[in-house]
Amino acid sequence: MNIGIRGIGGYVPEKRMTNKDFEAFLETSDEWITKMTGIKERRFAADDQDTSDLAFIAAERAIKDSGLRKEDIDMILVATATGDHKFPSVACQLQERLGLRNIPAMDQLAACTGFIYSMVTAQQFILTGACRHVLVIGAEKLTKIADMTDRNTAILFGDGAAAVVLGEVTEGHGIMDYQLGSDGSGGQYLFDRKADQLLAMNGREVFKFAVRIMGDMAAKTVEEAGLRAEDIDMFIPHQANIRIMESSRQRLGIDKDKMSVTVDRYGNTSAASIPLSLLHEIDKGTVTDGSKIVLVGFGGGLTYGAITLIYGK
Which residue in 19, 92, 112, 131 is the catalytic one? 112
Q: Of 171, 79, 89, 181, nearest to 134 (Cα)? A: 79
Q: Is 152 a catalytic residue?
A: no
Buried b (16+ CB within 10 A) or exposed e, 131-170: bebbbbbbbbbbbbbbbeeeeebbbbbbbbbbbbbbbbbe
| Residue 286 CB burial class (10 angstroms; 0-12, 13-18, ≥19) | middle
Residues 6+ positions from 253 with CB-CB distance below 8 Å: 219, 229
Pairing relationship of beta strands 234-237 and 292-299 according to DSSP bridges: parallel
Contacts of 20 (CB under 8 A, 6+ apart): 30
Q: CB-based contacts of 212: which residues, under 8 Å, 6+ apart?
A: none
Q: Which of 19, 173, 268, 280 is the catalytic position?
A: 268
Catalytic residue (one of 19, 131, 133, 238): 238
The DSSP result for 249-292, as a single string, is HHHHT--GGGB---HHHH-B-GGGHHHHHHHHHHHHTSS-TT-E
Catalytic residue ranges: 112, 238, 268
